Amino acid sequence: MTAESVADSPNPWVADHIRRFEETAGRPRPGISDLLLTTRGRRSGVLRRTALAYVRDPDGEAYVLTASNAGADRHPAWYLNLAADPAVTLQVGAETFAATARRATPAEAERLWPVVVAAMPSYAGYREATDREIPLVLVTAPGEVT
């Protein structure tokens, strides 16, 4: 992605989270690992940034994101954007880098859901709150293996 302007999430809570992340150079919240994900809008073409919790794949190098949308019956916009264009940018701590995103395979998701729920127990409730399958997304930097 190029050095063009980025639109932060219009959700006030997420926008505030992004500001705090930037002000602290991404110092983690106690017990939670956060990152900033930038995707390209699938319809607008505008770069869009959101703050997300993540876990690392214990069997690989991937960052694992959960497209829970807090248990809503629709996928979050960031997930739809990266499904259309998997080239993303991550900021983890003070480091920003290009990466590639893809939906976890069913076998990967089955293996990773317990890891995700152990880190963020609220995801178990989100799964129960919706009939849709909540995708797990694996994001890797160039040269990393999933």
With vertex at residue 132, the alpha carbon angle to CA 64 and CA 71, rounded to the nearest 5 degrees, is 65
Six token digits for residue 135: 């995708």
Q: Which residues make beta-bridge pairs with 102?
A: 138
Would you write out the chain's pLDDT as a tens digit for each of its 146 residues? 456 889 888 888 788 878 888 888 777 677 788 999 999 999 999 999 999 999 999 998 899 999 999 888 999 999 999 999 999 999 999 899 999 999 999 999 999 999 999 999 999 999 999 999 999 999 998 765 55
Q: In what order do the strands lie in the sheet with 6-8?
A: 6-8, 47-53, 34-40, 87-92, 95-103, 136-140, 63-66, 55-56
Centre a 10 Å sphere on the Cβ of residue 30 and count the other Cβ atoms it contains. 4
Structural domains in the chain, CATH included, are: 6-140 (2.30.110.10)
Give me Rg for the CA atoms of the chain.
Answer: 14
